[in-house]
Structure 1
Amino acid sequence: MPLHVPPAPAPALRTVLTALGSPTAVREARTPSLRTAEGPVTAELPLPVHVLDRVTAPGESTTRLAGWRFLIHSAGRAVAAADTMLTADGWAFSRFFEGPYVAATERALRQAESLPGAYQPRLLSVPSLYMLTLWLHGDRGADAAAGHPAATDLLVPLAPAPPGIAAHRPHRVAELLPVLTHRATRIPLLGSPA
């Protein structure tokens, strides 16, 4: 079933388009594939990026909107991504980047389109595990900037995923969130690497 990709805030999209149109911003980006892209580049598939701050109780979590991510396409494929962030003055361009999460996001979105049910795609970052997931929210009409993962929502870990968690395998939030919580709160045997 097709995904309902939420519209990004217009100012966030404008900042990305302005950066894409700036030779200086593109030239100074650490994204060789963006600098060498032939033909036009477009900002597509805006996804709100939420950060999992903590789990407050079984099945409940605290998340916050950190920004919007756009996949940058050239010649029919994603070559980079652009992040925006909310500042006191409104939406601002943050950075261009490339790497495994760009291709993994595109792959997970294609995979999600073949799943039964209707979803609103989002990204959920789990900083304590250096993990990023495609969050398939069951309420397609929800405000993309708000909300928390529902027990029946799906999380698709993007590659590279932490050891022991299969990338690109959809998991119900009720199944995966306790595993992530346990891993994030474990006390390291050898102490902190600080």
Structure 2
Amino acid sequence: MPLHVPPAPAPALRSVLAALGSPTAVREARTPALRSTEGPLTPELPLPLHVLDGITPGGRTPRTHLAGWRFLISDPEHPVAAADTRLTPDGWAFSHFFEGPYITSTQRALRQAEQLTTHYQPRLLSIPELYMLTLWLHADASADGASGTPAPHDLLVPLAPAPPGICAHRPLRVSELLPVLTLRLAPARLLGQPV
């Protein structure tokens, strides 16, 4: 398996385990799958969740920042939900549970990435301006998962649902996808029209 999943901070994992053990947190979550699952629920595949911002024309590298860690929550058979954690002044804390198409799409993209011959470190990269989430396959498999920016040779796998015109589950190098995102976010500016 060429994927090297970075370890999540221990307090982030503990906060998710505490939330899973709390009947109130599970009952109040807007995740019917959590409430209806029989059997134990386990947090798996912690992925650092980075947010990409500062996409501008001119080829400058956009900025990223760590927004949290996301854990897939699995029943004995498959992932049914996800849990996000976030950094607070007191340390890592559980944020919320959720479900939806990104759960199965993330699992599919990870399986797809496992078939590659190059070693990668999986991360998630959110592009809020496009309501887009990608699996970010960082080429430096030993890097600190909590920091860094997408390198030109890293792969981004848009998760479904992807924005119109961007093919979900088609791995693209950052150097290929970034110009497309730039065009999508700043078409008027690129055409010389007033914004």
TM-score (ref. length: structure 1): 0.94
| 3-state SS in 1 of match to 2:72 | strand
**1:133 and 1:157 in contact (8 A); partners too:** yes
1:101 offset after TM fit, Å? Answer: 0.3
What does residue 27 of structure 2 align with? 27
Q: Which residue of 1 aligns with 2:193?
A: none
CA–CA separation in structure 1 for the residues paired with 2:147 and 2:77: 31
Structure 2 residue runs of 5 or longer lacking an equivalent are: 190-195
SS in 2 for 1:66: strand
Unaligned runs of 5+ in 1: 189-194
Report what 2:175 is aligned to. Answer: 174
Find the residue that maps to 2:85 and give its secondary structure: strand
Q: Distance in 1 between matches of 2:2 and 2:176?
A: 24
1:191 equivalent in structure 2: none
What is the identity percentage for the equivalent residue pairs of Structure 1 and Structure 2?
A: 72
Q: Distance in 2 between matches of 1:34 and 1:186?
A: 42
**RMSD between superposed Cα atoms in Å:** 1.5
How far did 1:53 drift?
Answer: 1.0
The residue that corresponds to 2:91 in the other structure is 90
Q: How does 1:116-155 map to 2 (within 5 A)?
A: 116-155=117-156
Higher strand share: 1
Secondary structure of the residue aligned to 2:54 is strand
Does residue 43 of structure 1 match 2:43? yes
Please tell me the residue identity of whatever aligns with 1:8.
A
* Cα 1:154/1:59, change in 2 over 3 Å: farther
Deviation (angstroms), 1:58: 1.2
Task: Name the SS of the counterpart of 1:60 in structure 2.
Answer: coil
Deviation, structure 1 residue 151: 0.2
Q: Report the CA distance between 1:115 and its aligned residue.
A: 1.1
Q: How many residues align?
A: 189
Query: Once the 2 structures are TM-superposed, how far is the Cα of residue 55 of structure 1 from its aligned partner?
Result: 2.9
Amino acid at match of 1:88: P
CA distance in 1, matches of 2:181, 2:117: 25
2:84–2:96 CA contact under 8 A, matched in 1: yes
